[in-house]
Structure 1
Amino acid sequence: MEPFVLATEHVRLSVPTYADVDAITAACQDPAVAEWTVVPVPYERRHAEGFVRHHVAEGWAKGAVYTWAVRAPGDADGPLIGMVGLTCEGGPGEERAGELGYWMAADVRGGGLCTEAARLVVDWALDPDGLGLSVVSWVAYVGNWASRRVAWRLGFRLEATLRRHALQRGVRRDAWVGTVLPDDPREPNEPWPADAPGTRVRPGVS
């Protein structure tokens, strides 16, 4: 599939290019990105180059991984402020599924842009005129409350907390797993869990 743009008045999603390599490298120096994602540590410029050359380009070409750079609206070549990706599985004649992932640069977190960007991707993924997926899942290491907040706002239902479910640089970590189906409302379906008495909220990377 050829890359395409998704946009609202607040965010613009377009394919990452070599012009974004320095911005990706800089963003991935953030300790929070290292803590909550699977990026290499230490993260070097060559990792960003390989990400753009292989993960992004080959993912789009094969229709298996769709990756967008999140930018401010306007110029398609505007500065990268985050990333949203969708990894898909399933072949012809099968119901297909996808897994959503996202991160934002430290200086733009907390303003709702990650939620808006991720919503564009979820809506396209589940729309019959888009990918027409049967389900989109979300997986985050336990403690990544910022990521969970975005998923909660998008209507993901927390299905389980799975022990040693997600692999990060050779170590298995406990993970939250949620799903959203095509007919689910794209809004919170339960009270925000961090409001529970005694809950301690730690920062994440959304």
Structure 2
Amino acid sequence: MEPVILATERLELSLPGESDIDAIFDACQDPDTQRYTSVPAPYERRHAEEFVPRVAQQWTEGVHLTWAIREGDVLAGTIGLYRLDGHSAGEIGYWVSPWSRGRGVVTEAARAVIDWGFSPEGAGLTRIEWRAVVGNTASARAARTLGFRYEGLLRAGLAGKEGRVDGWVAGLLRTDDRTPQPWSIIPN
């Protein structure tokens, strides 16, 4: 699959490039990014240098599709559709740079990715799943805002840096109304 550029009112989502390596490295020094995502910890510069070409190769393979989120010239984070299974399902994942948090960047970027993911001209998915380490309430609030339905707790369901960890899971179907739904794990 060829990489696709998505645009919103203030963001551009495109393939990460060599010019993003320093910003990726800096963002991935954040303790919350290391705690709640699958980035290596400690995060070394070589990890960012290896990430950029790997993302391009994964687009070619069509299994993991990652975009850099840019607000102007600033790398605001990354977002992607992962584990595309060939049976019209995948998983959304994202991290946002510490300097871009709290301004709705992830929900704006995710809406564009979800729209493309469900579109027949895009990935043509029927279901997009969201997963997060238990306690990542910022990610859970974003997923709830996007209309994901909380589906439960995955006991030791995620691979963490220190072994298996509990995870939350939610799903969104192409046919779902995307209004925020109540989630028992986070306050409304």
Q: TM-score, normalised by structure 1?
A: 0.86
CA displacement, residues 25-60 of structure 1 (integer Å, 9 cap, x when unaligned)? 000001111110111111111000111112x01111
The alignment's C-alpha RMSD in Å is 1.5
Q: Which one has the largest radius of gyration?
A: 1
2:183 and 2:149 mapped to 1: Cα distance? 11
C-alpha deviation, 1:79, in angstroms: 2.4
C-alpha deviation, 1:195, in angstroms: 2.5
Q: Among 177, 182, 185, which residue is 1:185 paired with?
A: 177
Q: TM-score, normalised by structure 2?
A: 0.94
Q: Which runs of 4+ in 1 moved over 4 A?
A: none
Q: Is the 8 A contact 1:15 1:68 kept in 2?
A: yes
In the alignment, which residue of structure 2 is the partner of 1:83? 78
Change (3 A) 1:32 1:47: same
User: Which 5+ residue runs of structure 2 have no aligned equivalent?
Assistant: none
In the alignment, which residue of structure 1 is the partner of 2:13? 13
C-alpha deviation, 1:192, in angstroms: 7.7
1:39-78 alignment runs, 5 A limit: 39-54=39-54, 56-73=55-72, 78=73
1:155-194 alignment runs, 5 A limit: 155-190=147-182, 193-194=185-186
1:7 and 1:87 mapped to 2: Cα distance? 20
Q: How many residues align?
A: 188
C-alpha deviation, 1:21, in angstroms: 0.5
In the alignment, which residue of structure 2 is the partner of 1:116? 108
Q: Is the 8 A contact 1:88 1:96 kept in 2?
A: no
SS at match of 1:195: coil
Change (3 A) 1:108 1:89: closer
Identity over aligned pairs, percent: 48
SS at match of 1:194: coil
SS at match of 2:33: helix
SS at match of 1:138: strand
1:118-137 alignment runs, 5 A limit: 118-137=110-129
What amino acid does structure 2 have at the position aligned with 1:15?
L
What amino acid does structure 2 have at the position aligned with 1:58?
Q
